[in-house]
Amino acid sequence: MSKIGKKHIIIPSDVNVYINKQYIYVNGKLGILKQKLNKNIKIKIDKKKIIITNNLNNKKKFKSLHGLYRMLIYNMIIGVKNGYNKKLELVGIGYKANGSGRILNLNVGFSHTIVIKFCKKILIETENIKGSNTIITIYSCDKQLLGIVASKIRSIKKPEPYKGKGIRYKNEKIIIKTGKSV
């Protein structure tokens, strides 16, 4: 059995969890999330605890799924209760970002402005402080969706290795290469 999968998940008082056929639903103040379950993973809701068990203990694949589903459900509970956020930083002269809510406008060295519209579960804020880099903050209750959106925004203009210009995660370390030496 998985060491992580053995741990019980405590359900907070302001979060509701229920199972309908092959899906688990988690409902909280920030939204509703659902996850499809594997048929070999059994989930039991006992008062304010979730207990996850594995039918086939000896198969390596199902051992790993046991811990995976425990963490997915745990992340869903934390997401609908507190939410998640990621920060991206625009490094480069003239690189700007404007937007709030569900629309983001990026000026990152292209001849045109890039406009990105997001779904209901994503919220965007930008901080433009004179003399420092622009910060884009992304909020969501879904941790998986948040990571996907952050990586898509970063892929628009990845940090280049010589000057480090581009879109990077906040506090990300970029290894700068030396240029040609004569």
pLDDT tens for the 182 residues of the chain, in order: 567 778 889 999 999 999 998 899 999 999 999 999 888 888 888 888 998 887 766 677 777 788 888 899 999 999 999 999 999 999 998 899 998 889 999 999 899 999 999 999 999 999 988 888 999 999 999 999 999 999 999 999 999 999 989 999 999 999 999 888 76
Helices (H), ranges, 15-142? 60-81
Res 165: pLDDT:
93
Distance separating alpha carbons of residues 154 and 87, to the nearest angstrom: 11
Distance separating alpha carbons of residues 83 and 88, to the nearest angstrom: 17
The dihedral sign for the CA sequence 141, 147, 152, 156 = positive
Side chain identity at residue 127, one-letter code: E
Distance separating alpha carbons of residues 85 and 55, to the nearest angstrom: 35
Domain with CATH 3.90.930.12 in the chain: 3-81, 84-169
- Give bridge partners of residue 138 from the DSSP assignment: 86, 124
Report the CATH architecture of 3-81. Alpha-Beta Complex (3.90)
The model's pTM is: 0.87
In CATH, the number for domain 84-169 is 3.90.930.12
Res 57: pLDDT:
62
Residue whose tokens read 């910060």: 135
Distance separating alpha carbons of residues 155 and 72, to the nearest angstrom: 25
